Structure 1
Amino acid sequence: MAVPESAPQRIADARERFVDLEPHLRPDELRARVAELEQAMGAGDFWDDQEQAAKVSGEHARATRKLQVHDGLASDLDDLDGLLELAEDDDELGVELVEQLDSVERRLADLEEERLFTGPYDSGDALITVNAGAGGTDAQDWAEMVLRMEMRWAERRGFKVDLLEASAGEQAGIKSATFRVEGDHAYGLYGAERGVHRLVRISPYDSQGRRQTAFAGLEVAPVVEEVGDIEIKDEDLRVDTYRASGAGGQHVNKTDSAVRLTHIPTGIVVACQQERSQSANKMTAMKMLYAKLIERAERERAEEIAKEKGESQDVGWGSQIRSYVLNPYTMVKDLRTSVETGNVQQVLDGDLDAFVRAWLLQQAGHGESAPAAGA
């Protein structure tokens, strides 16, 4: 193949983007930190404190991964000029050039996305809860579709996904479900999905085949090890145990030791039925409750800041964010950023990157208009 005329300019642009990212990547600091962590991990008593050792090992893995991304990009960028020159007379090298350039641009986009995370919990894991809203059986079916979509998106990004609890609907779908996502910037990314998702379609549960509107809400909470000033008193907590009866084998492992916690002062309810023992389920549920309380505190803080600034926008988590229309036409449109696509099935299969990136850019104050999803 002939070398594309745009290749030299794309290479120059990629190099400029990489230089702009250097202050964010901080490779020298990363190298020093990796060396420091490796020294700690080499100590003879390192594994005496299992919990601390796990934290250090996790930080080492994350720092090493970031350093590898930086060094891989730097190396591939250095190779592009040589490939460009050689590809003028070699079609196979021309194909390799285009593939490597595409790869470099994708990795640069991922790093530019990471730079948009500024919140105190954005870099960590996330706890996601999907609730069926107004719409009866259609809403419960829609909630299950949203659950599948969100979990698939996490898996597409290489995150670890762990379903903690699911409550089945009366006829179909789910009333609610909670899953945990582990991966870099999971909480920061899922902030884009927080809110109400609206579905318009011909209802499969309406005998007259009428068009119905259904809603599902998505809550996002950060998973943190240190809970700071948050205190849960025993007298503020109601503990219920029950036999797990989730939405089905594809969703949750049934056990006889499910735990539901109700925080009486706030009305927050969490449940876990994933673990084998009641004590393990309670421990996981307590972590879920802490996460929900942190989310509540963050929301109240954001509302107070908005009030002080005199801002009128809705800073709550419950606003409608996106419409999914299956009839009389097909379209998914984000109501905050105006990003839209006609490929509804692709979105429902977990292709949410365009929507999330546009929201992150908007939150960061970037004024450029976002492209259509799937473009």
Structure 2
Amino acid sequence: DENGSVETALLSIDGEQTLSFVASWIGTIQWIGESEIRKDHKRKNWFIGIFVVESADNVEVKDTDISYQAMRSSGAGGQHVNKVSSAIRATHLTTGIQVVAMDSRSQHQNKKLAYERLLVKIREKHLESLKTNELTQWKNQMQIERGNPALDAYPYNLEEAIESLDYALSGDNNNAATLCLYGRVYAEQLQDYATAKTYFQDALAADIKAV
């Protein structure tokens, strides 16, 4: 983030009982502590959303999904390299991703290199797609608008409203509408006006039109 804070982080975990360990952390976690970025700020409740992103290493690419085309090499290597169609262009038919390998005079070796490079690019694209899908899901959950569980539940079901607000803040600690509603909870239900003021100030800082 522009102020030096971390909005998102991607961790890779490996080892025995990894799945059970990760499962115990999935969801919304409340962290209570002073902000290292805004040391004079009174707000101490922060919410972190933890979810699993599928490993891109699990992507399987069949050889039948790839089209190989021999082509003449270019660049250094002399007349022999340029006359022989030793370079290989590999195209993944599903995604349209293409790579070229012309490192070797051996067409067989270039084909192997092309496959390896193509696999890397396919995995990168798959991982990027997973990240985009996860972020889209989080954004959909974070929208505190009419029809959202937090607004529908408040003030009739305070526990359910707070649960929805926690979930929203776990994905975006600067969601102005969420901060406003949290301010109302502290002011109207808990009579903690100092904390409520902090949430309203955060909402104003995020979006002056929110309050």
With the shorter chain as reference, the TM-score category is 0.3 to 0.5
Which of 1 and 2 has greater Rg?
A: 2
Which TM-score applies when normalising by structure 1? 0.21
TM-score after normalising by structure 2:
0.36
